[in-house]
Amino acid sequence: MPGSRITPGNIIDGFEIVEHLHRGGMASLWQVRKPGYDFPLVLKSPILTEGEDPAAIVGFEMEQMILPRLSGPHVPKFVSSGDFSAEPYLVMERLPGKSLYHRLEDLPLPVSEVAGLGVKIATAIASLHRQNVVHLDIKPSNIMFRSSGQAVLIDYGLSRHEELPDLLQEEFRLPYGTAPYMAPEQIMGVRVEPRSDIFALGVLMYFFATGVRPFGDPKTLKGLKRRIWRDPVPPRALNADIPLWFQEIVLRCLEVVPERRYPTAAQLAFDLTNPQAVKLTPRAEKLKPDSWSLVLKRRLNPDDVLPRAKMTVKAQMAQSPIIAAAISLAEENEALGTALRGEIARIRQSLPGARVACIHVMRLNRIAMDKLVDEEGQNLHLQRLIELRHWAKPMGLEDEEITFHVLEAVDPAAAILDYARANEVDHIVMGARANSTLRNLLGSVSGEVAAKAPCSVTVVRARGEQVQGEGKTGAK
């Protein structure tokens, strides 16, 4: 291949090179422009000088294959690419601002801010996993944000697309990643585990909340492997202001065995969004690392960190959906309650990793002042929460399998839809409102939810109840 023509002033395939922006470990970034594009563009070119890591070339090939297959707000928009036989490059949208790396000088950050960042990043990871890709290099410098606040994951040179050849796996035997953020199984050469990205996000949240990297920054393979048997100092031992729920979430992300972490990034985002619903385990109370007896046991059995059951990214996400059960309470009769619980049980029978979120909407008045207590002086919000827990008790779910949420809104359907969008809900289950003149005039909540939901919707009716203009199921 002839010398690179990527210099300011040159035009390559219609793209004018404007200026050099950044040189990284494996590639350089250039500002470019081309008529017909109404958004800023950046060109990425691999560093091909003698002595550079050959993985830089392979990683660039991987990114050229993966990026055009990605879509959505959480990835940079692909524009064009050039072949290695002529001039290798990638052109994509240029994102505004700086990466999360520039916040390192501000650490530690308040837990509320770290949790907010965690929600955005976990949502982006979930979107990527739904497209059959594991990023495998989640770190501050690979995370940017749109003006809307949405996180964008960049740099797919180390990523794995389960429907494409894994050139890095085929050509190299050393693990590739960024040392402080690599998951134990990734260090041992496993590149098919989506929960590796959850581990990396756990490292990031630990670091941003304490100012300390949980596993340091090892420079050798031996140093990397230490995290397989040695757990980090609990965050609360470094920062006493960290609440129990946050430590619970972070240490669950950092579990050595992938099966003990969050099953999906969507479920992680759900807990970060709903900290009051996080089930606390002994992880939350820890102030010291594990005993040496446990450390020795892990060190003598390092293979325990390998995933026990390998499945595709899509299959793993499908096994662990978030199910929102919208419960009326006031209008619901015993037969409908039984039917709703039976439908949830049926879904969970085939999806044992499902998380159930029971939600109830307290309807607010549009104009008049709302009463916050009942006739006996009891807090209505708390009372509804107690009733919701009582409603769900017959299902016999463990605390980590179910959460409870009372929403307050003028429009119940809009509240349910907003909740589903904000929490990446996969399936809504709800009962059909009893037949009434009011429903016939104003329409049903279940009908509106089924028509507008961003996910599947199952509308349940008690057996034998008369149907008047409303179907039993709706889906979108």
The dihedral built from the CA positions of residue 70, 76, 79 and 81, taken in this order, carries a sign that is: negative
* CA–CA gap between residue 54 and residue 2 (Å, rounded): 18
309 secondary structure, DSSP code? S
The burial of 168, by beta-carbon neighbours within 10 Å (0-12 exposed, 13-18 middle, 19 or more buried), is given as buried
166-175: average pLDDT: 78
Are 100-317 and 321-475 equal in CATH topology? no
DSSP element (H, E) containing 143: strand 143-145
Reference 237, options 251, 217, 252; nearest CA is 251
Give the chain's end-to-end CA distance (angstroms, integer): 51
Max Cα-Cα span within the chain: 84
CA 189 to chain centre: 23
My answer on whether omega of the bond before 282 falls inside 30° of 0, hence cis, is no
- What torsion, rounded to 10 degrees, do the Cα atoms 441, 442, 445, 451 define? 90
pLDDT value at residue 115: 98
Residue 6 token pair: 């990527």
- Binned at pLDDT 50, 70 and 90, residue 473 comes out as very low
* pLDDT over 50 (residue 399): yes
pLDDT digits (tens, 9 = 90+) for 87-146: 889 999 999 999 999 999 999 999 999 999 999 999 999 999 999 999 999 999 999 999
pLDDT value at residue 474: 40
pLDDT digits (tens, 9 = 90+) for 239-254: 999 999 999 999 999 9
Q: CA 185 → CA 63, 192, 209, 254, 454, distances in Å?
A: 22, 9, 25, 12, 34
Which residue is it, tokens 């390192």? 104
Average pLDDT, the chain: 86
Q: Alpha helix locations (H) across 393-429?
A: 412-422
pLDDT digits (tens, 9 = 90+) for 196-228: 999 999 999 999 999 999 999 998 989 999 999
* CA–CA gap between residue 245 and residue 249 (Å, rounded): 6
Domain ranges of the chain: 11-93, 100-317, 321-475
* pLDDT over 70 (residue 52): no
% helix, strand, coil for the chain, step of 5: 40, 15, 40
Measure the CA angle with vertex 388, ends 339 and 435; round to 5°.
Answer: 50
462-467: average pLDDT: 59
pLDDT value at residue 91: 96
The burial of 93, by beta-carbon neighbours within 10 Å (0-12 exposed, 13-18 middle, 19 or more buried), is given as middle
Which residue is it, tokens 């209008």? 331
Task: Write out the DSSP string of 37-86.
Answer: --S-EEEEEE---TTS-THHHHHHHHHHHHGGG--STTSPPEEEEE-TTT
* pLDDT over 60 (residue 469): no
318 compared with 220, residue with greater pLDDT: 220
Reference 458, options 443, 476, 444, 442; nearest CA is 476
Residue 207 token pair: 């670091």
- Binned at pLDDT 50, 70 and 90, residue 3 comes out as low
195 compared with 314, residue with greater pLDDT: 195
CA 412 to chain centre: 26
Candidate from 97-106, 311-320, 399-408, 445-454 with smallest mean pLDDT: 311-320
Q: Are 474 and 450 in contact (CB under 8 A)?
A: yes
pLDDT value at residue 438: 42
Q: Are 45 and 30 in contact (CB under 8 A)?
A: yes
Which residue is it, tokens 């990835």? 75
Residue 269 token pair: 């985002």
pLDDT digits (tens, 9 = 90+) for 327-379: 888 655 788 888 889 999 998 888 878 889 989 988 887 655 456 655 665 67
Q: Which CATH architecture has domain 11-93?
A: 2-Layer Sandwich (3.30)
* CA–CA gap between residue 112 and residue 17 (Å, rounded): 41
pTM: 0.85
* CA–CA gap between residue 75 and residue 126 (Å, rounded): 12
Q: Domain 100-317 adopts which CATH fold? A: Transferase(Phosphotransferase); domain 1 (1.10.510)
DSSP element (H, E) containing 474: strand 474-475
Q: What is the CATH number of domain 321-475?
A: 3.40.50.620
pLDDT value at residue 306: 60
pLDDT value at residue 389: 87
Q: Say how many CA atoms lie within 13 Å of 283 toward its Cβ.
A: 19
273 compared with 461, residue with greater pLDDT: 273
Task: Write out the DSSP string of 101-125.
Answer: GGGGGGPSPPHHHHHHHHHHHHHHH
Task: Write out the DSSP string of 318-360.
Answer: HTS-EEEEE--SSS--HHHHHHHHHHHHHHHHH-TTPEEEEEE
* pLDDT over 80 (residue 290): yes
